[in-house]
Structures are given as C-alpha cells and as structure tokens.
Amino acid sequence: TMATAAGLGTALLSGCGSQQFITMGDLASDYNKEIFWMSIWAIALSILIFVGVSYALFYTVGRFREDRNDAAPQQFHGNNRLETWLVVVPVIIVMVLSVLTVRSMAILNPVPAEATKIDVLGRQFWWNFAYPETKADAGGNVTNGNEMIMPIGEQVALTITSGDVIHGFWAPNIGGQRAAMPATLRSWNVDINRAGVYQGNCTQLCGASHANMRYKVVALEPERYASFLAAAKAYRAPEPAAGSAEARGYALFMQGKPETGALACAACHRVQGTPAAGVAGPDLSFFGTRRTLGAGMWEFMEPENHWETPRAREILHEWIKHSPLVKPGSLMPTYDGSEYRANGKLVKGGILTDAELDDVAAYLRSLKLPEEANYWSGTP
C-alpha cells in the first residue's frame, strides 16, 4: 500500500508537470489573502447559525415528543422578546459581514498610479494581453497571446473585455474571477508575491472550445519583468535570411497563396515590426518564445528548443494545416482544402503543401524574444 500511495503521489505530482497547483487558497496573493479571511469569517458565522438552528430544532423535537408528553406544549401567540432577538441577531451578522466586505473593497480597489497595466481581451477561443502605454519602437503596444507576463510584489491593474461573447477570466492563484464582457471594460487589480507559472481558464461557457480557452500567467521578479518589457518594446521580428525556410514562410504569412485560395496569416495576426497587423486572431509577435499553442491546448515545457521536438513540430504543422479540425470552433481558416466556418457559412479552405506548412511553421518558430527577455527561462 505504501508503494501504491507513493506511486500515486508521484503520478499526481508529475501530472502537474512543472506547473503550480491550481488553488484559490494560494496566499501568495494579497488579493487571495483578503478574500480568504473574508471567507473564514463568513464560514465561521455560518457554522454559528447552523449550530444554533440545529440545536433549537433538535431540542424542540426531543423535548416535545408526543410519547414523552401527556399534554401538548404550552400554546402561545406572539413573543416580543424572541422576535426582537430573531431580528437583532441576523442584522448584527449581516452588519459584520458588510463592514468586512467594505473594508476588503477599500483595500483591494484603489489602483496605484504607477501600477503595471495590462489590457485583457477574451475572444472565441483565446486571450490577448496588451501592455498599454508601452509604445513598442516598431509601433503599437507590446502584446502577447495566451501568456500573461506580470511582475510580482505589486498590484497589476487589469482592464478586461471581450471581443465577442461573455468569457470568464480566472487564474485561481492570483485571485477571484471577472467576466470579460463585450463593449464593457472591467478593471480589476491582482497581485502575486511568488514568481512562477500559474494556470488561467475561461470560466464562462462561451462555445465549442470553451474548455480550450486557457492561458498561463508567468509572474516574474521585478528586474526580470523590466528586462522582458524593455526587450519587448525594442523587439522587431527577426528578418529571415534570403532563401531560407523562414523567408519562404514569411512570404506565405504575409501574402498567403492566392492561386490556391490560401489566406494570408497577416490578415488576422499581428507580428510586431512587420506589416502584419491583424487583430482577429491572437498576437504572434513572440510566438517562438511561447510554450503553449491553441490557447493552452498543448504545452511544450521542454527547457530548450521546445519547438524543435518531433511532437511540437507535428502539432504545429497540424495546427496550421487545419486548426478547426483539432480545435472545435476555431475561426482560423484551413490550409488543406477542408471546410471551415467563416461568417457563419461553411467555406473551403485554400491549400498549402506540407513543405509550405513547414515553412510557415519555421517562420513562426523564429519569432523569439532575445534570450535575456525569455520570460520562461528559469521558471519552475
């Protein structure tokens, strides 16, 4: 049994890979700490009420059992003292909870002027994280798809919205959750005091790939965050060498292949420092640095050259070829001629050959931040 237990323990731990446990009780976040103590108060008061009510119930049932009493209990109508208590006690409980709630709100809500700001955009079925006011040298704001990089030890001011339906933004370790609503900006301050990688999810049923709408929160020491941001601001997508696979991929990425109906990736995706400025799909500026694909459907956590493993290469190839086939509801066109849904209608995708798909993949893999700004390096 010991061996089984140990084996199970190892299996559970390795099942989580290098990722942090997902927990709302992670007190490495001041937000969670505040909510945790609020919950303790609410639970304590609930237990008090439960015990009181149970006691009164069982006492009454036991005390006035028919077989123990010859006569019916004393009958009376109205009891001012009892009724006063029945009003006063719940009012006191509600007041205690209100004061605690207002106190927590006052602590959690003000946004320090110098707080790091991140704009969160939920779409079917991915996330974009933009750093407003960062003004990249190549134009636009620094933006990353599906991987949110934040500094530790300070409040981070999120502004959350949706580009289509209602999504739910939830990374348990950094606190509660917020709805991402179309045409609505919701602000929310979060914080975490321990560097690491945390799991985020969409918590609002939003369509076929609701379950495939995950993200990572990568929390960095302030110096490492600063070096990430500096490099991200200065970043221009590397220019591929003439005649290389990356250069052929770049051309396909920017222009597609009109003679086979293959659409340009650039129409929907942005790559900082290139003419690609599409906003219909996730930002791909740092694609080669990212370790997740398809909004967390796949993770590639190999410490080095994670995109070069046979598994990663195959999945990326299949992804570009026909992402709606591997991720239900994905709005990306297909590149193998199979049907996909565009503006509510089924249409046939254009065609890229396997070699051309590999060229596009090679270009995507080359979109890397400089090593000192690789936010994954050294993460547990």
Question: Where on the chain is the footprint of ligand CUA (CB under 6 A)?
Answer: 122, 125, 167, 202, 204-206, 210, 213
Question: CB 164 → ligand CUA: shortest distance, Å?
Answer: 9
Question: CB 208 → ligand CUA: shortest distance, Å?
Answer: 10
Could you tell me the sign of the dihedral formed by the alpha carbons of 21, 130, 206, 281, in that order? negative
Peptide bond into 64 cis (omega under 30): no
| 3-state percent breakdown (helix, strand, coil) of the chain, nearest 5 | 40, 20, 40
Question: CB 201 → ligand CUA: shortest distance, Å?
Answer: 8
Q: What angle do CA 57, 59, 63 make, to 5 degrees?
A: 125
Residues 6+ apart with CB under 8 A from 37: none
Return the number of the residue (123 or 321) whose C-beta is nearest ligand CUA.
123
Looking up tokens 């004061």 gives 99
CA count, 13 A, side-chain hemisphere, 214: 18
Could you tell me the sign of the dihedral formed by the alpha carbons of 332, 335, 336, 339, in that order? positive
Phi/psi at 167 (5° precision):
-115, 170
Largest Cα separation within the chain, whole Å, is 103
Return the number of the residue (40 or 205) whose C-beta is nearest ligand CUA.
205
Closest among 70, 60, 155 to 115, alpha carbons compared = 155
Q: How many CB atoms lie within 10 A of CB 281?
A: 19
- Encoded amino acid at 262, one letter: A
Return the number of the residue (24 or 166) whose C-beta is nearest ligand CUA.
166
Return the number of the residue (176 or 261) whose C-beta is nearest ligand CUA.
176
Return d(Cα 45, Cα 39) in angstroms, integer. 10
- Encoded amino acid at 356, one letter: E
Return the number of the residue (42 or 211) whose C-beta is nearest ligand CUA.
211
Question: CB 65 → ligand CUA: shortest distance, Å?
Answer: 53
Question: CB 16 → ligand CUA: shortest distance, Å?
Answer: 22
Three-state DSSP class for residue 293: strand
Question: CB 301 → ligand CUA: shortest distance, Å?
Answer: 24
Return the number of the residue (202 or 262) whose C-beta is nearest ligand CUA.
202
Return the number of the residue (170 or 363) whose C-beta is nearest ligand CUA.
170
Q: How many CB atoms lie within 10 A of CB 243?
A: 8
Length of the chain: 380
Question: CB 120 → ligand CUA: shortest distance, Å?
Answer: 12
Question: CB 158 → ligand CUA: shortest distance, Å?
Answer: 16
268: tokens are: 């929907």
Question: CB 122 → ligand CUA: shortest distance, Å?
Answer: 6
Return the number of the residue (213 or 263) whose C-beta is nearest ligand CUA.
213
Return the number of the residue (122 or 249) whose C-beta is nearest ligand CUA.
122
